[in-house]
Every structure is written in structure tokens, then in C-alpha cells.
Chains A and B, each alone.
Chain A
Amino acid sequence: MSYSVNISVEAPIENQIQEITYDGQEIYQAPLTLSESLAKYAQKIDFSKIKTKKEPGDTSDDSKSDSDSKDSFQSNLWPWDSVRNKLRSALQEVCVLADVLAIAKDKRYMVLDPVQQEPVDTKPIVQMYARKKALAGAANVLLTGAERLKNSQNEAVQNRSNFHFELLRLRQNWRLKKVSNSIIGDLSYRTAGSKYSQPGIFEVTKAEDEEKPSSPPHSPLPGATPSVKSYSALRVTVPSELQGVAYISVLCQKDQEDLFSTNVNLLSSGPSTTNPDVHWQQKLEAAQNVLFCKELFNQLAKEAVQLQAPIPHMVVGNQIMATVLPGIQLIIGLCHSTSGDKKVPAATPAKTEHDHVLEHSLHQLLREVHHRNTHHPFPHPASGPLGPSKKRSLAGPNATDRYDLLEMTKSETLLEQIIKQAQHFFMRIRIGYVLDTIAKEVKDPLICSHWNSLNSPTQSCVKINIITHGYDVVYRTPLVIHIGEKTLKCICRDGKVMHMSYEPQELRDLIFCHINQHQILAVQSLAKIMGWQYLANSLHLGIGSVELLGNASSCILASPNGDRLIAVRCVPSQTGVQVSVAHSPRSDFFPSRLVTERKWEHLGGQFRDVRLDKMEGRNFLHKMELLMASLTSRNFLHKMELLMASLTSNS
């Protein structure tokens, strides 16, 4: 036991070397003091674990609360129960922390000591690797972003039909403006002078549907789509009341029977516009047309209500009815089909291919109104939209009187103008019909009518020549008829001007009178050429039976040596011409008890009727010529015979 050696067991100096100096001396880190090591070890204890281990009641409490919360969750008693519990425990801990801090601040019962942390040795290579990975991730994000940008850029370059090109094209043709985030366009005619209140607003959007989202992954796809279909990157949204096709139908009815109808549609060639794939230009044009038709109809309906016509105009639904001439109605309707099938409003089949003049002139009239609204004659105030008309401006210098000024204020409405045009249209048809039937009925003098090619919508002119075939140099009767809206003006050969109403019978009568006159006058001028002379001439014979129409006219012609007489009597009705012949003196003379001497024969004799229809000759004048010639020649031959006889007797 005495050999007992005291072995001191102590820890080797395993203090960490802090630094090795150049002379080889190692400087150790100072070993931890007891309190430091205590702190170190204490730091390693996980108090929360201990707590959970040591306090099973607490965990049970926790589980209980859990189960509580579950129960509550299941029973739906109070769904916030678990939250409340968590909050409560958090509050508890915070309170404890606050207490600890308060105690530690005093530095009497508790001291907070820093615990030296053991350096965690992370290898720099790991750090490097992590950083590399992070950079790679960032680069990936950047690359995908760049790819996307590049794609969209490429698309813009490849596709000429991208949004901005389309927008530029749209902008060049339509009015656009930006309102906050959307682009609003205006298709109304307001800038062109329209005063219609309905806004023609459409919205321009970027087309983003089935084609668009698929384009980024397949970049060649959008390049191919425009060739396949007229795909455009731009979409136009038109308000629902302007969608579809609209047109104004002008229909003329004669006592419920269609005379003719006009069914015009400015975009008649356009396919069904309800198709959303229709190009925006067509869509907008259709919408604008709808707007225009609506304005036109609105204007016409307003006027129809306001106008006080002898026979009031009717406005029923989408139709305006106006009386043009007695028994003839003009029906103007607005047809607007929003659905694709436009066959529905086309209620007038078969006759739709008639001329579209009236409808066109309706459009023209409204455009004229627009034009007048914007174009004021100079000088006018630069700021004001109003200005006196040119006539009004000249009224001052010209010292116009009240009547003229009042006349100036009157202006015709569209409806009045279109009714006038319709009236004129009917007048023209009627006159043409009358002239053609007369030309068909009357074969002897030919009636040629030439329609003037220069005419206005309410005035036209037709020139009529009454001639006899083969004798058109001898005599012709020209007539000019000016056709107005409800009246006719006929300028006769002698310069007389006749005014007639819209009844075709009046013109018919006039023409027959002129035919009659033509025959008499033509015979007279033929007589002049033949060397005959006319003794008497009366265009309005007061004697004889009363004619149905006008008066008969007549003339008496005498042969060159005066021994033959021809009397012609013309009747305007179709009975025709009566021709009578008289000889004086007669070639043969037989003295009777009453007429004892030959000289009394010079007083003239009995007229004998000539049966013209039995005579040779193409027409009346030809027959007359033959008649005159035969009378002259017989006369002449007779004279020659006499001359020869006297000569032979003398010899």
C-alpha cells in the first residue's frame, strides 16, 4: 500500500491549437472554465424534449386538446378551437419569456452568459456546389424568360399580320381612340355630318383564343394560320344592335298588288356576317351599313309622322307607307337580320331583280344631307357649325323681298324627295307605255319617240317625231314632252306649251290630235311639192258631226289648173281620213235644162268620196300623192289631147 503511487488522472491537453507561431510554438485555446463547460453542456440539453418526457400530463393535455379540437372539428362545435389552444400556449411561452427577461435584467438571480458555439465545419466545396446550383437555377429562369421573349419577337417578325400591323391598318381606315385600357373605335357618320344620336362604337381587342395560346410552343403554327384562313390578330366587337345585315327595301304597290320592288343590300355579296371569322373590315362595314340604314329609316319615319300630306303617311313597325299617285303606294321598309339566314326578310320573291334606283337615291339623299351638314358655304364663322346658305348671303346685296326669303326657308325633306322621285318614276313608266301603245295602234304616221339620256331623278324628257314613212323630208311634227313629278309639259311644233296632269289619257288625246294635225299639214306640204295649191285649211272644223275628241280638221286642195279639187277631212279618233274629189269643169259637158252653158261648170261640182282603203299606196300620203298625180296627169293628158286636136285642126 506504501508503494501506492498516486496516479493522477487528468485529461490530456487536447485544447485546440489556435495558432502555431513561426518558431513552432503552439498557442492553445484556453480551456473552458467550469462555468463555461457547464453552460456548454447545459446548452446541449433540449428542454422541450425533457419537458415533454417529464410531463406526461402535459402531453396528455396536448393530446386531449388535440382530440378536443378533433372532436370539435368533427362535431363542428367550434372550428377555431385548435387555433385558440395554440394561441394560448404561445401566450404562455411569451409570458414566461417576458418573466425570464425581467429576472435576467436584474442580474441578481440570473445571468445570461454567451455560450461559445462550436464552429460547424462546412466544407467550402459544398458551399461552392450550392452556390453553383443556385446560379444554375437563376440562369435557368433567365433562359426560359429570354426564350419566351425571343419567341414572341420572332412571331412578330415572321407574322406580318400581328396585332400592331392590323391595328395600324385599322387606324388608317377607322377612327380609334384609347380609353383607359381599351381601344374604342367609332363607326358612326358623325364626322361626315350625321346627326343621328345612336353611337356607333366598337371595341378593338387582341384576339386571344384557341390559336393564340398554342402559338408560343409551336412557332410555325401562327405563320401557317393566316394562309389557311383570314385569321387576324385583331378582334372587333360591335354592339349587338349593329350586328347583322340591314337594308332598306323600297316597294311600290298598286292596290295591294306589287308593281315592283327594290331589295337592295349594299353588301349583298357578303356572306353570312354572323360568322365570327369574318374579317374586321367587312364586319365594320356591315355594322356601318346597319347604322346608316337605321339612320335613314329613322329620318324617314320622323318625316313621315311630321309631314302633313293630303293622304297621311303611315308608319307601322318597320314600314313607312306613302301614297305616290292615286292608287299607288310607296312602301319603304327597314330589314335588319341579325341571324345568319337572310332569306327570312326577303318577302318579295321573283321581283327583286328590278332596278335599285329608288333605294340608291335614298342613300344618296341622306349622304347629301350629311354633306350639307358639314360643308357650309363660305364665308361662315370659323367656330360655328352653322352658316347662312349662299342664297341667304346674297339676299342682302340683292335686296330680296319677304316672299323670296320665305321661299328660301322651305326645304324638302327626304321623304318628299323620294316620293317625288317615285312619282317621276311612275310618270316615266306611264308615258313610255302610252307612247308605245300609240305607236303600236297607229301605223300610218309613224310615231318615233327618243328618250333623252340626260335627265335628273325628277325630270326627264322625251322627244316625239310624227313622220310618215317615206315622206319624212316632206313634213314632220316634232313634240317634246318634259316629264316632271306629277305634271307633264308638252312643247308642240308651233311653240305652244301644254301642261298636263299625271293621267295618261290626256297625253294620249294630245298625241292623237297631233297625229291628225300632222296628216292635214303633211298633205298640204305634199300638195305644194306636187304643184297643187291649197284653197282652204282649218285645223278645227266647226261643222260636221261632233267628234269624240277635239275637232276635225280639213283642207281643200286644187289642182295646178284649178279644175280638180280634193277635200281632206281628218278626225282625231281612229275613224281616219275622208278624202273627196270634185271636178270642175267636168271634162265632158252635156247641156241640161238647168245648166245650159259650159261656163257654169266652173262653179264647182259634186264631191265624190274616194275609197282610200281600196287605193294603192303604202300609206295615206303615198295614196294622196298617187291621187294627186293621177288627177294631174289625167288633166295634163286631157290638155295635151286638146292641144294636139287644136294643132291638127289648125293644120
Chain B
Amino acid sequence: MSTPRTLPQSKEALLKSYRTRLKDDVKSMVENFEETVKLAKGEHDTQLSRMTQCEQDTYEMHVRAANMVRAGESLMKLVSDIKQYLILNDFPSVNEAIAQNSKLFRTKQTECDQKLMSLRDDISADLHDLEEEYYNSINK
């Protein structure tokens, strides 16, 4: 992580696109908010009649609010995308998980092996005794 790695072209582009998406969304939020505030001031002279102007302002405000919400959801999507990207491409952590898993399984394996070995030793010793007993007995 500390050493900057050279990423392939596509990954680089993807990361850049994430960055631009972030900037765009934030910008869109800010701009829309500013515009809404400006609209609320209501200081603009137009050729339109007041009522029409009011209607237009209302509509514009709604649209801008919806835009802000959209930008927010887009940011959420971006977060989820980045999470997904991190999960899928975070090879160091995956390697760590694999190493941990393999270590776990190896210890389990040795444990099982040891248990099996001791079991085998016990059983073979017992089997020897039992065989001895069986073949020496009359009842076969």
C-alpha cells in the first residue's frame, strides 16, 4: 500500500472515473443548492409575468432538489462501487485470507494426522492383542 504500484491502463481509467464521478456529484449538489438559494432570493427581472415566473421557479426548485437527491444516491452507488472494487481487487487482503485459511487447514490437518496416528497405534496394538487372543482360543 505504501509503495505506489503501477496499475494497468483499465484500472487507472476506472479509478479516474470514480474520481470524476465523485467530483461531478459533489459539484452538482453544490451548484444545485446554490441555484436553489438564488431562486429563493427571487431577484431577477424577466419579461415573463410574475405568476409564470413563480411557477417556473417552483418547478426549477423541485428539479434542483431532485438533482441533489440523485447526486446523493449516485454518491452512495459510488461508495458501493468502490467497496466492490476494493473487495474484488484487494489482493493483499485476499492473500492474507488465503494464507490464514491454509494455515488453519494445515494445523487442522496435522492435528487430524496426529489423532489418526495415535488412533492407529492404539488400534493396531489392540488388534494385535485381539488377534493373539482370537487365534489362541478354541472358539473360532
- Specify whether A and B are partners: yes
Contact with B along A426-441 (1 / 0, CB 8 A): 0000000000100110
The stretch of B1-9, B15-23, B56-64, B107-115 that contacts the partner chain = B56-64
- List 8 A-B pairs, minimum CB-CB distance, nearest first: A145-B69, A453-B124, A134-B58, A138-B65, A172-B97, A141-B65, A448-B135, A138-B61
Shortest beta-carbon distance from B35 to chain A in Å: 11
Are A138 and B64 interface neighbours, CB within 8 A?
yes
- Could you list 17 examples of A-B contacts with CB < 8 Å? A130-B57, A130-B58, A133-B58, A134-B54, A138-B62, A138-B64, A142-B69, A145-B73, A164-B83, A167-B88, A168-B87, A171-B88, A173-B101, A449-B135, A450-B127, A453-B124, A469-B136
Residues of A close to B66: CB separation below 8 A: 141, 145
Identify B61's interface contact among A135, A145, A148, A168, CB under 8 A.
A135
B99-140: which residues lie under 8 A (CB-CB) from chain A?
101, 120-121, 123-124, 127-128, 131-132, 135-136, 138, 140
- Interface membership of A278, Cβ < 8 A: no
- Interface membership of A131, Cβ < 8 A: yes
B60-91: which residues lie under 8 A (CB-CB) from chain A?
61-62, 64-66, 68-69, 72-73, 76, 80, 83-85, 87-88
Q: Which residue of B lies closest to A153 (CB)?
A: B76
Are A137 and B61 interface neighbours, CB within 8 A?
yes
Residues of A close to B85: CB separation below 8 A: 178
Shortest beta-carbon distance from A246 to chain B in Å: 23
Contact with B along A125-155 (1 / 0, CB 8 A): 0010011011101111110111011001100
Residues of B close to A447: CB separation below 8 A: 135
Q: Complex formed: what's the CA distance from A164 to B90 in Å?
A: 13
Are A446 and B136 interface neighbours, CB within 8 A?
yes
Q: Complex formed: what's the CA distance from A176 to B138 in Å?
A: 66
Q: Which residue of B lies closest to A121 (CB)?
A: B50
Shortest beta-carbon distance from A303 to chain B in Å: 29
Are A171 and B94 interface neighbours, CB within 8 A?
yes
- Interface membership of A80, Cβ < 8 A: no
Are B135 and A171 interface neighbours, CB within 8 A?
no
Are B76 and A152 interface neighbours, CB within 8 A?
yes
Q: A138-B36, A145-B72, A171-B97 are in contact. List 13 more A-B contacts (CB 8 A).
A: A134-B61, A137-B62, A137-B65, A145-B66, A148-B69, A167-B84, A173-B97, A440-B140, A443-B138, A446-B135, A448-B135, A448-B136, A449-B135
Identify B49's interface contact among A120, A135, A141, A449, CB under 8 A.
A120
Q: Complex formed: what's the CA distance from A139 to B65 in Å?
A: 7
- Interface membership of B40, Cβ < 8 A: yes
Q: Complex formed: what's the CA distance from A239 to B69 in Å?
A: 39
Q: Complex formed: what's the CA distance from A453 to B116 in Å?
A: 12
Are A172 and B101 interface neighbours, CB within 8 A?
yes
- Whether A449 contacts B131 in the complex (CB less than 8 A), given A131-B40, A167-B84, comes out as yes
Are A142 and B68 interface neighbours, CB within 8 A?
yes
Are B50 and A127 interface neighbours, CB within 8 A?
yes
Q: Complex formed: what's the CA distance from A509 to B62 in Å?
A: 103
Q: Complex formed: what's the CA distance from A487 to B128 in Å?
A: 25
Residues of B close to A446: CB separation below 8 A: 135-136
Residues of A close to B94: CB separation below 8 A: 171-172
Identify B72's interface contact among A130, A149, A453, CB under 8 A.
A149
- Interface membership of A33, Cβ < 8 A: no
Q: Report A's interface with B, CB cutoff 8 A.
A: 120, 122, 127, 130-131, 133-135, 137-142, 144-146, 148-149, 152-153, 163-164, 167-168, 171-173, 176-178, 183, 436, 439-440, 443, 446-451, 453, 469
Q: Which residue of B lies closest to A206 (CB)?
A: B80
Are A145 and B68 interface neighbours, CB within 8 A?
yes
B4-51: which residues lie under 8 A (CB-CB) from chain A?
36, 39-40, 42, 49-51
Q: Report B's interface with A, CB cutoff 8 A.
A: 36, 39-40, 42, 49-51, 54, 57-58, 61-62, 64-66, 68-69, 72-73, 76, 80, 83-85, 87-88, 94, 97-98, 101, 120-121, 123-124, 127-128, 131-132, 135-136, 138, 140
- Whether A450 contacts B76 in the complex (CB less than 8 A), given A135-B40, A178-B84, comes out as no
Are A146 and B72 interface neighbours, CB within 8 A?
yes
Residues of A close to B62: CB separation below 8 A: 134, 137-138, 141
Are A164 and B84 interface neighbours, CB within 8 A?
yes
Q: Complex formed: what's the CA distance from A451 to B39 in Å?
A: 96
Shortest beta-carbon distance from B132 to chain A in Å: 6
Shortest beta-carbon distance from A385 to chain B in Å: 21
Q: Complex formed: what's the CA distance from A139 to B58 in Å?
A: 11
Shortest beta-carbon distance from B93 to chain A in Å: 8
Residues of B close to A145: CB separation below 8 A: 65-66, 68-69, 72-73
Are B84 and A131 interface neighbours, CB within 8 A?
no
Are A127 and B84 interface neighbours, CB within 8 A?
no
Shortest beta-carbon distance from A471 to chain B in Å: 13
Residues of A close to B58: CB separation below 8 A: 130, 133-134, 137
Shortest beta-carbon distance from A138 to chain B in Å: 4
Residues of A close to B136: CB separation below 8 A: 446, 448, 469
Residues of B close to A137: CB separation below 8 A: 58, 61-62, 65
Shortest beta-carbon distance from B47 to chain A in Å: 10
Q: Which residue of B lies closest to A437 (CB)?
A: B140
Are B123 and A453 interface neighbours, CB within 8 A?
yes
Are A127 and B42 interface neighbours, CB within 8 A?
yes
Are A131 and B76 interface neighbours, CB within 8 A?
no
Shortest beta-carbon distance from A338 to chain B in Å: 30
Residues of B close to A443: CB separation below 8 A: 138
Q: Complex formed: what's the CA distance from A142 to B58 in Å?
A: 14
Q: Complex formed: what's the CA distance from A137 to B69 in Å?
A: 13
Residues of B close to A164: CB separation below 8 A: 80, 83-84, 87
Shortest beta-carbon distance from A34 to chain B in Å: 28
Identify B131's interface contact among A133, A149, A172, A451, CB under 8 A.
A451
Q: Which residue of B lies closest to A145 (CB)?
A: B69
Q: Complex formed: what's the CA distance from A436 to B65 in Å?
A: 91
Identify B88's interface contact among A139, A148, A183, A440, CB under 8 A.
A183
Residues of B close to A122: CB separation below 8 A: 50-51
Q: Complex formed: what's the CA distance from A629 to B52 in Å?
A: 140
Are B54 and A453 interface neighbours, CB within 8 A?
no
Q: Which residue of A lies closest to B100 (CB)?
A: A172
Residues of B close to A130: CB separation below 8 A: 51, 54, 57-58
Are A120 and B87 interface neighbours, CB within 8 A?
no
Shortest beta-carbon distance from A325 to chain B in Å: 26
Residues of B close to A131: CB separation below 8 A: 39-40, 42, 54, 57
Are B50 and A120 interface neighbours, CB within 8 A?
yes
Q: Complex formed: what's the CA distance from A443 to B135 in Å?
A: 10
Residues of A close to B40: CB separation below 8 A: 131, 135
Identify B127's interface contact among A139, A173, A453, CB under 8 A.
A453
Q: Complex formed: what's the CA distance from A173 to B100 in Å?
A: 11
Q: Complex formed: what's the CA distance from A164 to B88 in Å?
A: 10
Shortest beta-carbon distance from A626 to chain B in Å: 21
Residues of A close to B123: CB separation below 8 A: 453
Are B84 and A142 interface neighbours, CB within 8 A?
no
Q: Complex formed: what's the CA distance from A638 to B94 in Å?
A: 97
Q: Which residue of A lies closest to B36 (CB)?
A: A138
Residues of B close to A167: CB separation below 8 A: 84, 87-88
